């Protein structure tokens, strides 16, 4: 089967125009079929603060009230998504931007949690990713750029974790491709010392991850990222890794980052 690269970009790379441009240049050089899922960085939080909307996070996940949902849709599906598409077009990469509602690509439901009300946050339904449509887009040599907004099929948009979207899309396409999933941000991988960029763990299995999480070495936003990454591995994704955005090039002779293993 053909290799499909699914890359999720997030963190401070989204906020830094120079770093984002460098990343997108490298992304454009990947010759295999590819899909890019992006997060929102700090832009949504900054805009919300400017217009007086208080933001709350729990375990690395945003609480999305109605006003915050409006901001996230504008920033994620609008400004960030279309900026990435335009930059990739400048690199002769035929990118096309989507959110989950477009073409009914990704359907979700409002999160149900007895302890925490996450607001207008969506959890992707089982079989909620339309794999056939993604396959058609890829066969037409389009490069889907996916923003972390989904819909519930009843006219409602929902803010959805981009790491989860990457995992679910990757898992849905394992029947047609050898899927390589890469989570990229501003660090060199999963770090054993949060302030030491050289402390990345080259190989991480599920047992070691659970131990590091219990001991508080892995915490906050890294937890949902790795939970999703291991879910993808268990769903048949061929390879999953976490690395700095500068290390996505398939031409690198030596990979710097964390490769995950079952």
- The model carries a pTM of 0.94
User: Using CA atoms, how far apart are residues 89 and 29, in angstroms rounded to an integer?
Assistant: 12
Q: Please, which residues bridge with residue 9 across strands?
A: 38, 184
Burial 100-134 (b: 16+ CB within 10 A, else e): bbbeebbbbbbbeeeeeebbbbbbbeeebbbbebb
User: Using CA atoms, how far apart are residues 235 and 85, in angstroms rounded to an integer?
Assistant: 29
User: Using CA atoms, how far apart are residues 28 and 85, in angstroms rounded to an integer?
Assistant: 11
Contact 38, 184 (CB under 8 A): no
Residue 197: helix, strand or coil by DSSP? coil
Handedness of CA 34, 128, 45, 73 (dihedral sign): positive
Reference 158, options 98, 113, 118; nearest CA is 118
Q: How far apart are the first and last CA of the chain?
A: 22
For the segment 226-253, what is each residue's pLDDT rounded down to a tens digit? 999 999 999 999 999 999 999 887 656 5
Predicted confidence at residue 92, as pLDDT, reads 97
For the segment 32-78, what is each residue's pLDDT rounded down to a tens digit? 999 999 998 788 888 988 999 887 877 666 789 999 999 999 999 99
User: Could you tell me what percent of the chain has a pLDDT over 90?
Assistant: 78
Predicted confidence at residue 8, as pLDDT, reads 97
For the segment 63-119, what is each residue's pLDDT rounded down to a tens digit? 899 999 999 999 999 999 999 999 999 999 999 999 999 999 999 999 987 688 889
CA 133 to mean position of chain CA atoms: 19
């Amino acid at each position: 089967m053909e290799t499909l690269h699914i890359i999720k970009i997030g963190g401070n790379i989204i906020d830094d125009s120079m770093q984002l441009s460098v990343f997108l240049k490298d992304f454009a050089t990947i010759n295999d079929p590819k899909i890019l899922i992006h997060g929102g960085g700090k832009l949504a939080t900054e805009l919300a603060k400017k217009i007086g909307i208080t933001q709350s996070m729990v375990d690395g996940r945003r609480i999305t009230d109605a006003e915050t949902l409006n901001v996230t849709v504008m920033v994620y599906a609008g400004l960030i998504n279309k900026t990435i598409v335009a930059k990739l077009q400048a690199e002769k990469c035929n990118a096309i931007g989507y959110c989950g509602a477009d073409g009914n690509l990704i359907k979700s439901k409002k999160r149900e949690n007895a302890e925490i009300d996450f607001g207008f946050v969506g959890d992707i339904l089982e079989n909620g990713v339309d794999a056939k449509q993604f396959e058609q887009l890829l066969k037409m040599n389009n490069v889907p750029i996916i923003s972390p907004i989904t819909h519930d099929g009843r006219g409602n948009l929902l803010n959805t974790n981009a790491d989860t979207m990457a995992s679910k899309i990757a898992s849905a396409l394992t029947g047609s491709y050898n899927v390589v999933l890469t989570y990229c941000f501003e660090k060199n991988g999963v770090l054993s010392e949060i302030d030491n960029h050289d402390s990345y763990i080259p190989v991480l299995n599920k047992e070691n991850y659970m131990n590091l999480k219990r001991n508080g070495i892995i915490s906050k936003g890294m937890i949902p990222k790795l939970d999703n990454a291991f879910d993808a591995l268990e769903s048949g994704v061929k390879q999953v890794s976490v690395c700095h955005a500068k290390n996505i090039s398939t031409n690198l002779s030596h990979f710097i980052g964390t490769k995950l293993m079952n």
